Amino acid sequence: MGVVDSLPGRRARMVAVGVIRSDADLSTDLRLLKIAEGLDAWLDEHVPDVVAVERVFAQHNVGTVMGTAQAAGLAMLGAARRGVPVALHTPSEVKAAVTGSGRADKAQVTTMITRILDLDEPPRPADAADALALAVCHLWRPAGALQGGDRHELTPAQRAWAAAEQAAKQRPRR
């Protein structure tokens, strides 16, 4: 779980970071309950304008994909119950957004998100750094990935980011 605020000038500030854990000895139903309760607590505490969730593909990691898909489903449900728009980004999009390469490794993502958010120390575990990177990825490309079409009106902050991104695209890159 990573919560960020958008600041002017394509900057972002970390609000909170953490991991929701469930006991691997519990049955799947009770693990999902634990995760859903954790998600509810985060959503109720931080009241996000948008929730970004990693897009999971069935092709990869057959052993863990079911649980990952189910946890992602709970995040989407928690957001939808609160009327909060959901955005999906692929791991490659997230890596590319924060490191410049869609094939960056976990260490690079951690290094870059620590720098981007001006953190005193790298977020641990790597999954927490991934969550922050996903949030920053979404801040930097808010318009494209939102689900649900016209249901999802952009917040003022998102509009500002979209405008900044548009402006950045029109400037020549070094």
Residues forming the annotated binding site for Mg(2+)?
54, 127
Long-range contacts of range 17-20, CB-CB < 8 Å, 24 or more positions apart? Answer: 17/123, 17/128, 17/131, 17/132, 18/42, 18/128, 19/125, 19/127, 19/128
Q: Is 54 a catalytic residue?
A: yes
Q: Is 76 in the site for its own copies (CB under 8 A)?
A: yes
d(CA 34, CA 27): 11
d(CA 144, CA 74): 22
Q: Is 150 in the site for its own copies (CB under 8 A)?
A: no
Q: Is 9 in the site for its own copies (CB under 8 A)?
A: no
Q: Give residue 128's identity as a one-letter amino acid code.
A: A
Which residue reads 């092709």 in tokens? 59
Q: Is 45 a catalytic residue?
A: no
Binder to its own copies among 52, 88, 128, 131 (CB under 8 A)? Answer: 88
Bond from prior residue into 91 cis (ω within 30 degrees of 0):
no
**Would you say 69 or 168 has its CB closer to its own copies?**
69
Binder to its own copies among 3, 15, 33, 126 (CB under 8 A)? Answer: 33
Which of 40, 49, 127, 165 is an active site residue?
A: 127
Known catalytic residues are 54, 127
Q: Name the site residues for its own copies (rule: CB under 8 A).
A: 26-30, 32-33, 36, 56-59, 62-63, 65-66, 69-74, 76-77, 79-81, 85-86, 88, 147-149, 151
